[in-house]
Amino acid sequence: MSSLHFVVISRSSGFAHSFRLSDATRSLSLTTVHSVLNASKRNFVTTSRNQDQGPLFEKAKTMDPKLYTKSAAPSSTKWPAPSPSASILVISPTNKVLLLKRVKTASSFASAHVFPGGNVDEFHDGVTAKDEHLDNIVYRNAAIRETFEETGILLSKRPVEVSDEVRDKGRKDVYNRQIPFGDWVKDHGGVADTDSLIPFTRWITPPPAKKRFTTQMYLYFLPVSSANSFSEKPSKIHTPTPEGEQEKEHTSAEWEYPLTWLSKAQSGEIMLYPPQFYLLNLLSPFLNNSNTDYATQRKGVRQFLEKVPTSSGEYDSFDGKLKPKVSNTHLIGWKDKVISPSVMFAPGQLYRDETVLSLESPGPELGAQKGNTRGGDAERVVVVEFERKSGPRGIKIVDRGEVGRLWEDKERKGARI
């Protein structure tokens, strides 16, 4: 089996250790967009700007201190509760992002490129808090454990020097619940580096999906000091399976700059779902193949993530004039943003074949909470063509005001864009 060796660094010493990338990945993605689109056809009226669930450009109005949290979900409350999960954007010492590819025969997210991550497991990670939509140690434990299970990368505060055989056996034992992940790490002298995870939005699968997730996203920077000993050669990945079953080749892995990933997705070379595309798009101005040194690029990312307001808080409405803000999502930092995509325009309403997704709502669970002050991103929307068999294509992140002006032009001209 070919190997991909990663440099896994201890935060305390800068120690570099080589690991072979292995295992499959589970991903956060909008796999139920078709059912959401079907619901949207019942709930969205394109001929009236004032319909309660028409295209989500509300008339300018005075808002109370709470966020505008209208959800595009159908009125039924029978949808399943979202399962807690976590995912990490692992940044290499040279500021590239790791993505794992699902094979064509995968039962879900076939052929998509995803970040490492998966569901919270109480056996390993602990019990989630009452408010399961907040970053906490349980999500952080899950993120680091899943990354270890899926890639062989152990994000540890202290060096962990083990052979490939010991590490791979540990991954299988953890996967099969033969030993709690924390115990395995401790037994080998390590400490999971939960403190270095940087919260970077939360995504909640919108109803009426049959499987829903509340996924905490994180950033993790592998120290620049290990750049000289770091290998980025792609490899096949092998998934851990229950004891007695044959290990099966499942995915491939690769490190690229965010802009490279975005370009590959737009050209059709790879498949990205909206959450992955959106987050890579946010990082692309900072992490790139420029003359700027790696540390300075990372400083730019940290400053961006810490800045509040996150944007102007205003956008153009239908008449082309700047309207007062109808959402306070710009006052929510990136670590606290919660995004549950909803259909703003279904195919044929604005674009011939593309769907426009609003990123403003935090979803029905949070949206229904009295005094909720959490939400997503009101000023950006996702434009994407969904194909039932081949998945999302041609994704773009567009300013919401631009979409409003297109809608105005369409109404005025009576023509499809």
More confident residue, 41 or 120: 120
Instruction: From residue 13, give the alpha-carbon distance in Å to each of 16, 223, 299.
Output: 9, 10, 21
Q: What is the pLDDT of residue 353?
A: 93
Nearest CA among 143, 123, 267, 150 for reference residue 193: 143
pLDDT of 18 strictly over 70: no
pLDDT of 66 strictly over 60: no
371: Cα within 13 Å, side-chain hemisphere: 0
Please indicate, yes or no, if residue 115 is contained in any of the structural domains.
Answer: no
- Across 6-32, average pLDDT: 41
What percentage of the chain carries pLDDT values higher than 90? 53
Q: Of 21-25, 73-77, 291-295, 336-340, which gets the smallest average pLDDT?
A: 21-25
More confident residue, 417 or 276: 276
- Across 238-260, average pLDDT: 66
Q: What is the pLDDT of residue 315?
A: 59
- Under DSSP, the state recorded for 271 is B
Confidence of residue 27 (pLDDT cuts 50, 70, 90): very low
- Under DSSP, the state recorded for 255 is E
Please indicate, yes or no, if residue 281 is contained in any of the structural domains.
Answer: no
Confidence of residue 132 (pLDDT cuts 50, 70, 90): confident
Peptide bond into 309 cis (omega under 30): yes
Q: Of 168-172, 188-192, 248-252, 256-260, which gets the smallest average pLDDT?
A: 248-252
What percentage of the chain carries pLDDT values higher than 70? 70
How many domains are contained in the chain?
1
Q: Which three-class secondary structure state does DSSP give residue 331? A: helix
Q: Which three-class secondary structure state does DSSP give residue 138? A: helix
Mean residue pLDDT across the chain? 78
Q: Is the dihedral of CA 147, 113, 95, 296 positive or negative?
A: negative
- Across 382-407, average pLDDT: 89
Domain hosting residue 352, numbered range: 33-75+312-413
Please indicate, yes or no, if residue 26 is contained in any of the structural domains.
Answer: no
Q: What is the pLDDT of residue 17?
A: 42
pLDDT of 64 strictly over 50: no
Q: What is the pLDDT of residue 293?
A: 93
Q: What is the pLDDT of residue 370?
A: 85
Q: Of 1-15, 189-203, 255-269, 348-362, which gets the smallest average pLDDT?
A: 1-15
Nearest CA among 200, 206, 143, 128 for reference residue 366: 206
Distance CA 314, CA 54 (A): 20
- Under DSSP, the state recorded for 400 is H
Q: Of 43-47, 93-97, 413-417, which gets the smallest average pLDDT?
A: 43-47
Please indicate, yes or no, if residue 208 is contained in any of the structural domains.
Answer: no
Confidence of residue 76 (pLDDT cuts 50, 70, 90): very low
More confident residue, 13 or 134: 134
pLDDT of 242 strictly over 80: no
Highest mean pLDDT out of 47-56, 245-254, 380-389: 380-389
Q: Of 59-68, 210-219, 337-346, which gets the smallest average pLDDT?
A: 59-68
Per-residue pLDDT tens for 83-98?
999 999 999 999 999 9
Please indicate, yes or no, if residue 62 is contained in any of the structural domains.
Answer: yes
Please indicate, yes or no, if residue 16 is contained in any of the structural domains.
Answer: no
Residue type, 117: G
Strand partners of residue 101: 113, 252
Per-residue pLDDT tens for 153-212?
999 999 899 998 999 999 999 999 999 999 999 999 999 999 999 999 999 999 988 889
Please indicate, yes or no, if residue 305 is contained in any of the structural domains.
Answer: no
pLDDT of 45 strictly over 60: no
Please indicate, yes or no, if residue 52 is contained in any of the structural domains.
Answer: yes
Q: What is the pLDDT of residue 71?
A: 41
pLDDT of 30 strictly over 80: no
Per-residue pLDDT tens for 279-326?
999 999 999 998 889 999 999 999 999 999 998 776 554 444 445 556
DSSP per-residue string spanning 145-199: HHHHHHH----BSS-----HHHHHHHHHHHHTTSS-HHHHHHHTT--B-GGG-EE
Enumerate residues 6+ apart whose C-beta is below 8 A from 87: 27, 28, 114, 115, 116, 117, 118, 143, 146, 215, 216, 217, 218
Q: What is the pLDDT of residue 240?
A: 54
Q: What is the pLDDT of residue 10?
A: 52
